[in-house]
Amino acid sequence: MKPERLARGPGKKATSKGKKATSKASIAQPTRRSGSASQDQGTRRKLIDAAIQTILEQGFYRASSNAIADTAGLSWGVIQYYFGSRENLMLAVLEEGTHRLSEDLAKAELTGETLTERFEQYFRILEGYYGTPDYLAFIQVLLNLSHDPRTSEQARQTLIEARTTVDADVKRLTNKLFAGTGIRRASLRNFPFQVLRGLAMSEVMIQSLPFESTELNKVVNQVSYQRHYLAKALALLIESEMAPELAAEGAAGVALVLAGRPDRSG
């Protein structure tokens, strides 16, 4: 089931009767004068994809409205018609990222029989979003709009709502990850997400650097081993917290895994 959209275009203006639309910081679309809804959605999609591509190729600040329009093969007037401003288009880009992550988390299942298997599945789910080049565009939009003093209050509220939605989706998946462990501490339950997200982001950033192809393949292969080591280390940590009497054995196992040595405990 597709999550509800957080933002829907520039805020609605007063109607001819003087009534103002009520919304939470969502971005309403301008009134359409002609064309079908499918055509409208197709054009919006084309502009959002072009914005993501332009940000990745030129960076957030160089991704001007004209540059995005050129990438899309459209005019600046089309962007203004569908979004009203560059800020609203950038919010639509961030909204797209939020939808992708929400959909991935909503349909995610953790079926591994062991904690190590579940952590590896958890990583692959996060990697499907945080480990993609498009995420580098989403994070640029988030960081710049969050820190730009010119960002409107409506846009800031939209950013907060996006974060709230993602936090709720991550919490649901985290509950599946820790099911049956008895672990309640938030600091420990949130730890795998922070660590595994960091590894996924590291992988995509490495792939964006100017490596020779052979050198890049070596680095990517190392990440696959690091992923397994990290999943196993996290599983040992959780198991040690589940059974205090095994804490010493679990800590020793973590050290062995991080050192890349064989772990006889399996």
Give per-residue pLDDT as tens, 85-115: 999 999 999 999 999 998 888 888 898 888 9
Predicted local distance difference test score (pLDDT) of residue 106 = 85
Residues 240/228/108/115 CA torsion (nearest 10 deg):
-20
Q: Residue 263 above 60 pLDDT?
A: no
CA neighbours closer than 13 Å in the CB half-sphere of residue 103 = 12
Alpha carbons 179 and 78: distance in angstroms, whole number: 49
Alpha carbons 135 and 43: distance in angstroms, whole number: 22
Predicted local distance difference test score (pLDDT) of residue 24 = 39
Q: Residue 52 above 90 pLDDT?
A: yes
The residues near 176 (Cβ < 8 Å, ≥ 6 apart) are 108, 109, 110
Mean pLDDT of the 219-247 span: 79
Predicted local distance difference test score (pLDDT) of residue 36 = 66
**Structural domains of the chain, ranges and CATH numbers in brackets:** 34-84 (1.10.10.60), 105-258 (no CATH)
Predicted local distance difference test score (pLDDT) of residue 162 = 84
44's tokens: 């919006």
Query: Which of the two residues, 246 and 111, has the higher pLDDT score?
Result: 111
Predicted local distance difference test score (pLDDT) of residue 26 = 44
- For residue 25, is it left (φ>0), alpha (ψ between -120 and 50) or beta? left
Q: Residue-wise over 191-221: b if at least 16 C-beta within 10 A, else e? A: ebbebbbebbbebbeebeeeeeeeeeeeeee
Q: Lowest-confidence range among 97-101, 140-144, 212-216?
A: 212-216
pLDDT in tens, 111-129: 888 899 999 999 999 988 9
Predicted local distance difference test score (pLDDT) of residue 200 = 85
Alpha carbons 11 and 26: distance in angstroms, whole number: 7
Residue 62's pLDDT band (cuts 50, 70, 90) = very high
Residue 253's pLDDT band (cuts 50, 70, 90) = low
Q: Residue 13 above 70 pLDDT?
A: no
Mean pLDDT of the 177-192 span: 90
Alpha carbons 29 and 58: distance in angstroms, whole number: 27
Residue 30's pLDDT band (cuts 50, 70, 90) = very low
For the chain, what percent of residues have pLDDT higher than 70? 76
Predicted local distance difference test score (pLDDT) of residue 168 = 86
Predicted local distance difference test score (pLDDT) of residue 225 = 84
Q: Residue 150 above 80 pLDDT?
A: yes
Predicted local distance difference test score (pLDDT) of residue 45 = 94
